[in-house]
Amino acid sequence: MSNVNWKSILKTVLKKPAHSEIAVSKSLLPNPPLARFKRSFGEPKGQKANYELRRIHVREYDDEYRLHGDYVRPLANPLENLGPML
């Protein structure tokens, strides 16, 4: 990916269906809180931390971030965020 930044990544994620995940090397992006992401929560999948910005969910792993769009903001409505998974 050329010109990788949080803005370009968010645009890419929002074009995909909810819960379609993409992975990005941590070396390409600043730490999520520096880009106004808030600490969040998520289903345990081995991640070190979870963040959200609007409907974007970021899982932080040792070497990469895995991102997807959610149906709704997890911090605003945790149960509805699970959507059809319930």
Confidence grade of residue 78 (pLDDT, cut at 50, 70, 90): low
Question: Which comes out higher in pLDDT, residue 55 or 76?
Answer: 55
Who's near 72: CB < 8 A, 6+ residues apart?
A: 55, 80, 81, 83
Who's near 34: CB < 8 A, 6+ residues apart?
A: none
Confidence grade of residue 79 (pLDDT, cut at 50, 70, 90): low
pLDDT digits (tens, 9 = 90+) for 10-28: 999 999 998 899 999 999 9
Which tokens hold the place of 17? 């269906």
Task: Say whether pLDDT at 84 is over 60.
Answer: no
Which amino acid makes up residue 52? E
Extents of the domains making up the chain: 6-85
